[in-house]
Protein backbone atom coordinates (compact mmCIF):
# COMPACT_ATOMS: atom_id res chain seq x y z
CA UNK A 1 0.00 0.00 0.00
CA UNK A 2 1.38 3.40 -0.97
CA UNK A 3 0.81 6.54 1.08
CA UNK A 4 0.02 9.67 -0.88
CA UNK A 5 -1.67 12.89 0.08
CA UNK A 6 -4.67 14.90 -1.00
CA UNK A 7 -4.22 18.54 0.00
CA UNK A 8 -1.80 17.35 2.67
CA UNK A 9 -4.05 14.66 4.16
CA UNK A 10 -2.63 11.13 4.00
CA UNK A 11 -4.59 8.61 1.94
CA UNK A 12 -3.67 5.13 0.74
CA UNK A 13 -3.64 3.25 -2.54
CA UNK A 14 -4.31 -0.42 -3.14
CA UNK A 15 -0.63 -1.17 -3.64
CA UNK A 16 2.42 0.14 -5.43
CA UNK A 17 3.00 0.88 -9.08
CA UNK A 18 4.52 -1.96 -11.07
CA UNK A 19 8.31 -1.73 -10.75
CA UNK A 20 10.70 -0.43 -13.37
CA UNK A 21 12.14 -3.24 -15.40
CA UNK A 22 9.01 -5.39 -15.16
CA UNK A 23 6.45 -6.01 -17.88
CA UNK A 24 3.32 -3.88 -17.45
CA UNK A 25 0.29 -5.93 -16.44
CA UNK A 26 -2.12 -6.62 -19.28
CA UNK A 27 -5.38 -4.73 -19.21
CA UNK A 28 -8.70 -4.48 -21.01
CA UNK A 29 -10.30 -1.06 -20.72
CA UNK A 30 -13.11 0.78 -22.47
CA UNK A 31 -12.25 3.03 -25.40
CA UNK A 32 -14.01 6.07 -26.81
CA UNK A 33 -16.32 3.99 -29.01
CA UNK A 34 -17.16 1.66 -26.10
CA UNK A 35 -14.87 -0.98 -27.59
CA UNK A 36 -12.59 -3.12 -25.43
CA UNK A 37 -8.99 -1.97 -25.73
CA UNK A 38 -6.03 -4.02 -24.53
CA UNK A 39 -2.42 -3.05 -24.01
CA UNK A 40 -1.56 -5.37 -26.90
CA UNK A 41 -3.53 -3.11 -29.28
CA UNK A 42 -0.65 -0.62 -29.25
CA UNK A 43 1.87 -3.20 -30.46
CA UNK A 44 5.52 -2.24 -30.48
CA UNK A 45 4.92 1.48 -29.91
CA UNK A 46 6.43 3.17 -26.90
CA UNK A 47 3.74 4.21 -24.45
CA UNK A 48 3.19 7.00 -21.98
CA UNK A 49 0.42 5.92 -19.63
CA UNK A 50 -1.03 8.89 -17.79
CA UNK A 51 -3.30 7.64 -14.99
CA UNK A 52 -5.55 10.28 -13.41
CA UNK A 53 -8.47 10.42 -10.98
CA UNK A 54 -10.71 12.34 -13.42
CA UNK A 55 -10.20 14.55 -16.46
CA UNK A 56 -12.79 16.82 -14.88
CA UNK A 57 -10.20 18.36 -12.53
CA UNK A 58 -7.70 21.13 -13.33
CA UNK A 59 -4.53 19.12 -12.65
CA UNK A 60 -5.71 16.06 -14.59
CA UNK A 61 -6.71 18.27 -17.50
CA UNK A 62 -3.33 20.02 -17.39
CA UNK A 63 -1.42 16.73 -17.53
CA UNK A 64 -3.46 15.51 -20.49
CA UNK A 65 -2.80 18.78 -22.35
CA UNK A 66 0.92 18.81 -21.55
CA UNK A 67 1.55 15.23 -22.71
CA UNK A 68 -0.72 15.77 -25.74
CA UNK A 69 1.51 18.68 -26.82
CA UNK A 70 4.70 16.63 -26.48
CA UNK A 71 3.63 13.39 -28.18
CA UNK A 72 3.90 14.56 -31.83
CA UNK A 73 7.63 15.17 -31.33
CA UNK A 74 8.33 11.59 -30.20
CA UNK A 75 8.43 8.88 -32.87
CA UNK A 76 6.44 5.67 -32.51
CA UNK A 77 4.89 6.70 -29.21
CA UNK A 78 1.29 6.67 -28.04
CA UNK A 79 -0.20 8.64 -25.15
CA UNK A 80 -2.75 6.61 -23.19
CA UNK A 81 -4.78 8.53 -20.62
CA UNK A 82 -6.65 6.30 -18.16
CA UNK A 83 -9.35 7.49 -15.78
CA UNK A 84 -12.66 6.39 -14.28
CA UNK A 85 -14.50 8.96 -16.41
CA UNK A 86 -17.10 7.60 -18.80
CA UNK A 87 -15.87 7.32 -22.40
CA UNK A 88 -18.43 9.96 -23.45
CA UNK A 89 -17.00 12.46 -20.96
CA UNK A 90 -13.43 11.63 -22.01
CA UNK A 91 -14.29 12.22 -25.68
CA UNK A 92 -16.09 15.47 -24.89
CA UNK A 93 -13.09 16.65 -22.86
CA UNK A 94 -10.66 15.93 -25.71
CA UNK A 95 -12.93 17.63 -28.24
CA UNK A 96 -13.41 20.72 -26.05
CA UNK A 97 -9.66 20.95 -25.37
CA UNK A 98 -8.62 20.25 -28.98
CA UNK A 99 -6.59 17.19 -27.93
CA UNK A 100 -5.86 15.01 -30.95
CA UNK A 101 -2.79 13.04 -29.83
CA UNK A 102 -4.30 11.13 -26.95
CA UNK A 103 -6.03 7.79 -26.51
CA UNK A 104 -8.49 7.91 -23.61
CA UNK A 105 -9.43 4.71 -21.83
CA UNK A 106 -11.99 4.27 -19.09
CA UNK A 107 -12.10 1.79 -16.22
CA UNK A 108 -15.88 1.68 -16.76
CA UNK A 109 -16.03 -2.11 -17.18
CA UNK A 110 -12.69 -2.86 -15.56
CA UNK A 111 -12.54 -1.28 -12.12
CA UNK A 112 -9.88 -3.85 -11.17
CA UNK A 113 -7.33 -1.94 -13.29
CA UNK A 114 -6.62 0.41 -10.36
CA UNK A 115 -6.02 -2.51 -8.03
CA UNK A 116 -3.73 -4.35 -10.47
CA UNK A 117 -1.67 -1.24 -11.10
CA UNK A 118 -1.60 -0.31 -7.39
CA UNK A 119 -3.28 3.07 -7.93
CA UNK A 120 -6.81 2.53 -6.60
CA UNK A 121 -7.45 5.03 -3.81
CA UNK A 122 -8.65 3.10 -0.75
CA UNK A 123 -9.75 5.89 1.62
CA UNK A 124 -10.51 9.59 1.82
CA UNK A 125 -12.88 11.63 -0.34
CA UNK A 126 -11.56 10.16 -3.63
CA UNK A 127 -11.87 6.51 -2.52
CA UNK A 128 -12.60 4.31 -5.53
CA UNK A 129 -10.85 6.58 -8.03
CA UNK A 130 -7.22 6.22 -9.08
CA UNK A 131 -4.25 8.21 -7.91
CA UNK A 132 -2.15 10.27 -10.29
CA UNK A 133 0.66 8.21 -11.82
CA UNK A 134 2.74 8.07 -15.00
CA UNK A 135 4.34 5.02 -16.57
CA UNK A 136 6.59 4.89 -19.63
CA UNK A 137 6.75 1.57 -21.46
CA UNK A 138 9.14 0.48 -24.18
CA UNK A 139 7.91 -1.32 -27.30
CA UNK A 140 7.84 -4.62 -25.39
CA UNK A 141 5.77 -3.12 -22.55
CA UNK A 142 8.70 -3.13 -20.15
CA UNK A 143 8.37 -0.31 -17.65
CA UNK A 144 11.27 2.13 -17.98
CA UNK A 145 9.82 4.94 -15.86
CA UNK A 146 7.25 5.00 -13.07
CA UNK A 147 6.05 7.89 -10.95
CA UNK A 148 3.39 7.73 -8.28
CA UNK A 149 2.73 11.46 -7.79
CA UNK A 150 2.95 11.92 -4.00
CA UNK A 151 0.36 14.73 -3.75
CA UNK A 152 -2.73 14.33 -5.93
CA UNK A 153 -3.03 18.08 -6.49
CA UNK A 154 0.50 18.22 -8.00
CA UNK A 155 1.32 17.66 -11.65
CA UNK A 156 3.61 14.78 -12.59
CA UNK A 157 7.27 15.24 -13.52
CA UNK A 158 6.76 15.80 -17.25
CA UNK A 159 10.44 16.31 -17.98
CA UNK A 160 11.44 13.00 -16.41
CA UNK A 161 8.70 11.03 -18.19
CA UNK A 162 9.40 12.63 -21.57
CA UNK A 163 13.14 12.13 -21.12
CA UNK A 164 12.56 8.44 -20.37
CA UNK A 165 10.52 7.88 -23.53
CA UNK A 166 12.93 9.90 -25.70
CA UNK A 167 15.84 7.82 -24.39
CA UNK A 168 14.22 4.74 -25.96
CA UNK A 169 14.77 6.05 -29.49
pTM of the predicted protein model: 0.96
> CA angle 26-147-131, nearest 5°?
75
57-89 tens-digit pLDDT: 999 999 999 999 999 999 999 999 999 999 999
Q: Rounded CA gap, 137 and 42, in Å?
A: 11
Beta strands 103-106; 133-137: pairing state:
unpaired
Give me the number of domains the chain comprises.
1
Looking up residue 99, the CATH number of its domain turns out to be 3.40.30.10
> CA angle 2-5-11, nearest 5°?
55
Residues spanned by the domain of 67: 3-166
Catalytic residues: 60
6-49 tens-digit pLDDT: 999 999 999 999 999 999 999 999 999 999 999 999 999 999 99
Amino acid sequence: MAKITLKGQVIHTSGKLPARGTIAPAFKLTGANLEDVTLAKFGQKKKIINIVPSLDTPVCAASARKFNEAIPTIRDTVLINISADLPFAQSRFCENQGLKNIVTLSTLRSPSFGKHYGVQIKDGPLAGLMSRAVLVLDGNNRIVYAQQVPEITQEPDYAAALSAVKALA
